[in-house]
A and B are shown apart, each in its own frame.
Chain A
Amino acid sequence: MTNTPLWEVFVRARNGLAHKHVGSVHAADATMALQAARDVYTRRGEGLSLWVVPSNAIVASDPTDREMLFEPTGSKIYRHPTFYEVPEEVGHM
């Protein structure tokens, strides 16, 4: 027998915030996945908006690429404001 598809669930807690991953549900189709996400993940006023995404639609970076992908940024400290010196008298900038 076929397994019921898995969906990843994202909840927006309130307007102004991004949707955040909270877990997954099983459902045969998108409509029922949304209802399941509502019934499972928003029982305590956790959200105002829901996304469900088929789990197999997510493309993830490979953890073994982590150093190649994310290390090079560590040396680019000139991208951060604290890299630059501004005299105190100038005030907040």
Chain B
Amino acid sequence: MQETPRIRMLLGLADDALIHGHRLSEWTGHAPTLEEELALANIALDLIGQARALYQATGLPEDDLAYLRDPHQFRNVLIAELPNGDFAFTIARLLLVATAADLAWRDAATSDDSDLPAIAAMARNEIAYHIRHAADWLIRLGDGTEESHRRSQNALDALWPYTGELTVGIDRSAWLGAIEAVLERATLTHPADGWMQGGGRDGRHTEHLGHLLAEMQILPRSHPGATW
């Protein structure tokens, strides 16, 4: 695969959406309420749909990209591949990632790429709801009980070092402003920006991605050339 700068850019966006969508789909059957089962599945379906549109925009077969690349060829940010943790972790990550994605899609909407503006038009509506849903939940978890507050704060503390690469290429202060507005209502705080994890865009991932892909890719990998 010849990874032109355009393909590399598209893969970054697509892999973020696919891997995060995959993680959210793992909640199916295990969410804290029945209503939230449907909400998380909706968000996962949005993200998988965005990933497909972006893979298709590369002109390469979408399933080859999703199922036949090795971990080091994936371009997603590390935060997307971290295991789900508890519901607070999942919701906090969704807010951090979706808020960044919103800013990235804003730029994509006005790019002169042949496909991106149309995909952005669809994705931006979806992401706006993801932000709304995640923010409203985080406000409730942060402000709810002692336990939910503690879990939410722990989640933010654990996630923060992964937010560095999330804002590469977008305005971090705009991102931070949007996050802080939610955290204030949630009575939560974020750690100061310090050392940040990185490497996802260059294919250097956490240990988790290999396991995720081993599971996701097992059928196409063990039946080469088969149609599904």
A and B touch in the complex (CB under 8 A): yes
User: Which residue numbers of A lie inside 8 Å of B, CB to CB?
Assistant: 4, 25-28, 31-32, 35-36, 39-40, 43
Categorize the interface residue count of chain B: 10 to 19
Asked whether B165 is an interface residue with its Cβ less than 8 Å from the other chain, the reply is no
Q: Is the CB of A25 within 8 A of B42?
A: no
Which residues of B pack against A, CB within 8 Å?
33-35, 38-39, 42, 132-133, 136-137, 140
A27 B136 Cβ-Cβ under 8 A: no
Q: Which residue of B lies closest to A36 (CB)?
A: B35
What are 18 inter-chain pairs, A to B, with CB distance below 8 A? A4-B33, A25-B35, A26-B34, A27-B35, A31-B136, A32-B136, A32-B137, A32-B140, A35-B39, A35-B132, A35-B133, A35-B136, A36-B38, A39-B35, A39-B38, A39-B42, A40-B38, A43-B38
Q: How far is the CB of B138 from chain A (nearest CB, A)?
A: 12
- Interface pairs A-B: 9 shortest CB-CB: A36-B35, A39-B39, A39-B38, A40-B38, A39-B42, A25-B35, A31-B136, A35-B133, A26-B35
Query: In chain B, what residue has the closest Cβ to A29?
Result: B140
- Nearest Cβ distance between residue B170 and chain A, in whole angstroms? 26
B132 surroundings in chain A (CB, below 8 A): 35
Please tell me which one of the listed residues A26, A28, A36 contacts residue B39 in the complex, with CB atoms under 8 A apart: A36
* Other A-B pairs beyond A32-B136, A39-B42, 10, CB < 8 Å: A26-B34, A27-B35, A28-B140, A35-B39, A35-B132, A35-B133, A39-B39, A40-B38, A43-B38, A43-B42
Complex Cα spacing A25 to B39, Å: 12
Chain A residues near B39 (CB-CB < 8 A): 35-36, 39
